[in-house]
Amino acid sequence: MTMSRHLQIAPASVLFERARAVERFDDCLRTLVAEMYSLMYSAYGVGLAAPQAGESLRVAVIDLRGRRASRASGATRDLRGRRASRASGATRGLREGSLAEEGSLAEEDTLDDDASAEDAEMDAELLIDDCREAHEPFAMVNPEITWQGTELRAYEEGCLSFPEVLVSVERPRDVEVSYYDLEGAQHRVRARGLLSICLQHELDHLDGRTIIDSLSRLRRSMVLRRFAKQARMATIAR
């Protein structure tokens, strides 16, 4: 398939808009989803929302198997899935020192090959607790959260639209999502672990929210300024 879409990188405006509901389940929708899968796999992601593909529609695709492939290749991942707490204290995906002193971003080591026993145990929790959709790709049309648990967990999350940025995001551990498939049939999935994080992350995209909304106003502004500068430089280079 010839890729006609490109990954939208901040500060692309489509990333900050509330996406429109899908009204027609037709070949155009199926083509969009196929292109989203291709884009997600080419970027070694585990989830992608339509706005990230430049289409402001309430559609998302997920395939958690991409997480293992991305680790093996050393490529960037959409979601890192590491719990943001250690014996030494809370982890920061964006180091405050680098941001405050240099205006740059620094990435914490995450899920590397020499992960500790604690990390391996957490990985097992994420993979075992996820329901069957964690082991096969699936597309969601007009998804919505219908229930969420009261227990909150913080994890470091990355995003393909914000390369090299990691942010600690606190979310409900358990979540239930209702969505339609490409044929218009309704489904409901209850998830925990990585699938829960991924579901909530992608639904955030559909409402124009991103991981940097969990940062302070100052740090969020600094991140956006950095990406705006990179976009200007890329335009000049062309």
pLDDT digits (tens, 9 = 90+) for 90-115: 333 332 222 222 232 323 323 233 33
Write down the pLDDT at residue 1: 52
CB contact at 8 A, 46 and 79: yes
The whole-angstrom separation of Cα 138 and Cα 33 is: 10
Residue 1 within a domain: no
Over 90: is that where the pLDDT of 73 sits? no
Average pLDDT estimate for 149-154: 96
Q: For residue 116, what are its two tokens?
A: 């500790």
The span from the CA of 85 to the CA of 62, in Å, is: 26
Mean pLDDT of 22-34: 98
The answer to the question of residue 190 being in a domain is: yes
Average pLDDT over the chain, rounded to an integer: 78
**pLDDT over threshold 70, residue 87:** no
pTM: 0.75
- The separation between the first and the last C-alpha atoms of the chain, rounded to the nearest angstrom, is 26
Secondary structure class of 49 (helix, strand, coil): strand
Q: Is residue 79 part of a domain?
A: yes
Q: Which of 110-124, 133-147, 194-208 has the highest mean pLDDT?
A: 194-208
Residue 110 CA to residue 76 CA, distance in Å, equals 11
- Is the preceding omega at residue 11 within 30 degrees of 0, hence cis? yes
Query: Which value, to the nearest 10 degrees, does the dihedral of the CA atoms of residues 133, 148, 54, 5 take?
Result: -10
The parent domain of residue 34 ranges over 13-237
- Identify the CATH number of the domain in which residue 197 sits: 3.90.45.10
Q: What is the mean pLDDT of residues 43-62?
A: 97
Does the residue 51 lie in any domain? yes
The domain tally of the chain equals 1
Task: Tell me whether residue 7 is in a domain.
Answer: no
Give, in degrees to the nearest 5, the angle at Cα 226 between 223 and 228.
110
How does residue 79 score in pLDDT terms, banded at 50, 70 and 90? Answer: low
Residues taking part in catalysis:
202
Q: Is residue 4 part of a domain?
A: no
Strands of the chain (E only): list them: 47-49, 59-62, 82-83, 138-148, 152-159, 162-172, 174-180, 186-192
Residue 227 domain-assigned (yes or no): yes
